Structure 1
Amino acid sequence: WETQQVLVTEESFDAQYYVAHNKYYEQVLVPKRSEFKGKMIEVEIFEAGKHFLKGRPLDGSEVFTPSIAEPLQKGEVSGLTQEQLSLQQNGSVPSSGVLTASWSPWSLDREGLKLLSISLAVVAILVVFMWEKLH
Structure 2
Amino acid sequence: MALLVGERQHVLVTEESFDAQYFVSHNKFYEQVLVPKRAEFKGKMIEVDIYEAGKHFLKGRPVEESTPFTPSIAKPLQKGEVSGLIKEPIAHGIHGPASSTPPSSALWIGSYRLDRELLKTLGVGLTVAAAILAFIIEKLY
Same fold (TM over 0.5): yes
Structure 1 unpaired stretches of 5+: 88-100, 129-135
Counterpart selection for 2:15 from 10, 25, 49 = 10
Q: Distance in 2 between matches of 1:15 and 1:27?
A: 15
Q: What's the CA shift for 1:86?
A: 5.0
Secondary structure of 1:35's match?
Answer: helix
**2:46 corresponding residue in structure 1:** 41
Aligned length: 102
Matched, 1:56 2:58: no
Q: Percent identity?
A: 66
Q: What's the CA shift for 1:48?
A: 0.9
Structure number with higher helix proportion: 1
Matched, 1:19 2:24: yes
Q: What's the CA shift for 1:74?
A: 3.2
Structure 2 unpaired stretches of 5+: 1-5, 88-107, 113-117
Cα–Cα, structure 1 residues 86 and 52, in superposed 2: closer, same or farther, change >3 Å? same
Q: Distance in 2 between matches of 1:13 and 1:33?
A: 16
Secondary structure of 2:85's match?
Answer: coil
Cα–Cα, structure 1 residues 52 and 77, in superposed 2: closer, same or farther, change >3 Å? same
Structure 1 runs of 4+ with >2 Å offset: 73-77, 80-87, 101-108
Q: Deviations over 1:60-84 (max 9, x none)?
A: 2011111111111233321224265
**1:98 corresponding residue in structure 2:** none
Structure number with higher strand proportion: 2
Q: Distance in 1 between matches of 2:22 and 2:58?
A: 12
Query: For the aligned residues, what is the CA RMSD?
Result: 3.0
